[in-house]
Amino acid sequence: MKTFLSAITLLISFYGLTQTKDDLNKVTSINGEYLEKIHSISTPLSLTKKSFYLDEDWNHMVIITRDDEILHANGRINLVRMLVEILVEKHIRRLNESRVRALIFDGDKIMRIPASRIEDRRISSYMQVLSDGQVTLLEAFKIGFKTESDGYSGVVVDEKMILESDFYYTTDFSSFNKLKGKKEILSIMEDQKSAAEVFIKDNKLKLDQKRDLAVLFDFYNDFFDSNKNSDP
C-alpha cells in the first residue's frame, strides 16, 4: 500500500498543482459524473454554516479517482454528513464517493475508508494519513456531544456537538485498528521495540499527541524502509 500512496504523490507531482484559487473559482476540471446534488435542489452557502468541517474554508482539492484520473476542484470535507462538498458556481455539490480513491486536501493526504472496515460507525469514512509505510497511521474523526447541566438541579440545559478524533493503524488497508496506548504501539513495532523505546525517551514524545505519534511512526517506517532497501 505504501507503493500506492507514493504513486499518488508522484502523480500529483507530475501533473503539478499550479492552479491558483482565482483559477479554481473560474473553472473546475471536475464534471457532472463525479457530482451529486446534496438535496433535491442545490444547497445555498448560507445553510451550511452550522456543519462541522475538517477546514471550513474552501481549499484546492486534488481528487484521485478509482480510474487514477487526477481532478481539481474547490472543496471541503463535511464531517457531520460524512461527505465531500464541491463548490460549483456558488452552489454546493456532493462528490460521488464511489468514484473516489483518495484526496489531497490543502496539502494533506486523505484516504476514503469503506465503512465496512471500521467498527465504530460514528467514524467519518475520510481519514487523514499521518505516516505512510510498513504501518500506516491515520487520524479518524467523529462527532461527539457535550452536555451542560444546571448546577443546582442537574437538568441538561444545553447540548453541543464537538469534533473528536482517534488514531488508527493498518498494515494492508483491509482492516483498521484503533490505537489503544503505548503498550500496543510498541507491540506493533515489536521488531524494533528497543529502538522505538530509546527514540521515544530521547525525543520526549507524548504518544497521545498527534505530532509526536506521527514522528514515532515516521521513525519506524523510515527504519524499516532503509533496512529493506539495504538488503541484497
Predicted pLDDT of residue 227: 64
Please indicate, yes or no, if residue 107 is contained in any of the structural domains.
Answer: yes
**Confidence category of residue 156, pLDDT binned at 50, 70, 90:** low
Number of domains in the chain: 1
Please indicate, yes or no, if residue 143 is contained in any of the structural domains.
Answer: yes
Secondary structure of the chain as H, E, C letters: CHHHHHHHHHHHHHHCCCCCHHHHHHCCCCCHHHEEECCCCCECHHHHCCCCECCCCCEEEEEEECCCCEEEEEEEEECCCCEEEEEECCEEEEECHHHEEEEEECCEEEEECCHHHCCCCCECCEEEEEECCCCEEEEEEEEEEEEEECCCCCCEEEEEEEEEEEEEEECCCCCCEECCCHHHHHHHCHHHHHHHHHHHHHCCCCCCCHHHHHHHHHHHHHHHHHHHHHCC
Predicted pLDDT of residue 23: 41
Please indicate, yes or no, if residue 152 is contained in any of the structural domains.
Answer: yes
pLDDT, tens digit (0-9, with 9 covering 90-100), for 8-23? 444 444 333 344 444 4
pLDDT, tens digit (0-9, with 9 covering 90-100), for 32-79? 677 776 653 344 454 445 567 878 888 888 888 878 788 888 888 887
Please indicate, yes or no, if residue 197 is contained in any of the structural domains.
Answer: no
Domain that holds residue 15: 2-182
**Confidence category of residue 86, pLDDT binned at 50, 70, 90:** confident
Secondary structure of 26-79 as H, E, C letters: HCCCCCHHHEEECCCCCECHHHHCCCCECCCCCEEEEEEECCCCEEEEEEEEEC
pTM of the shown model: 0.74
Please indicate, yes or no, if residue 196 is contained in any of the structural domains.
Answer: no
Cell of 67: 480510474
Look at the block and give the residue holding cell 486536501: 105
Q: Are 98 and 56 in contact (CB under 8 A)?
A: no
The long-range contacts involving 152-157, CB below 8 angstroms and separated by at least 24 positions, are none
Residue bearing the bigger pLDDT, 182 or 161:
182
Cβ neighbours for 166, distance < 8 A, ≥ 6 positions apart: 120, 123, 139, 140, 142, 178, 179
The rounded percent of the chain whose pLDDT value lies above 70 is 73
Residue type, 80: V
Please indicate, yes or no, if residue 60 is contained in any of the structural domains.
Answer: yes
Please indicate, yes or no, if residue 219 is contained in any of the structural domains.
Answer: no
Predicted pLDDT of residue 207: 92
pLDDT, tens digit (0-9, with 9 covering 90-100), for 112-148? 887 777 777 778 778 899 998 899 999 998 877 777 7
Please indicate, yes or no, if residue 217 is contained in any of the structural domains.
Answer: no
Taking phi over 0 as left and psi of -120 to 50 as alpha, with beta for the rest, 142 belongs to: beta
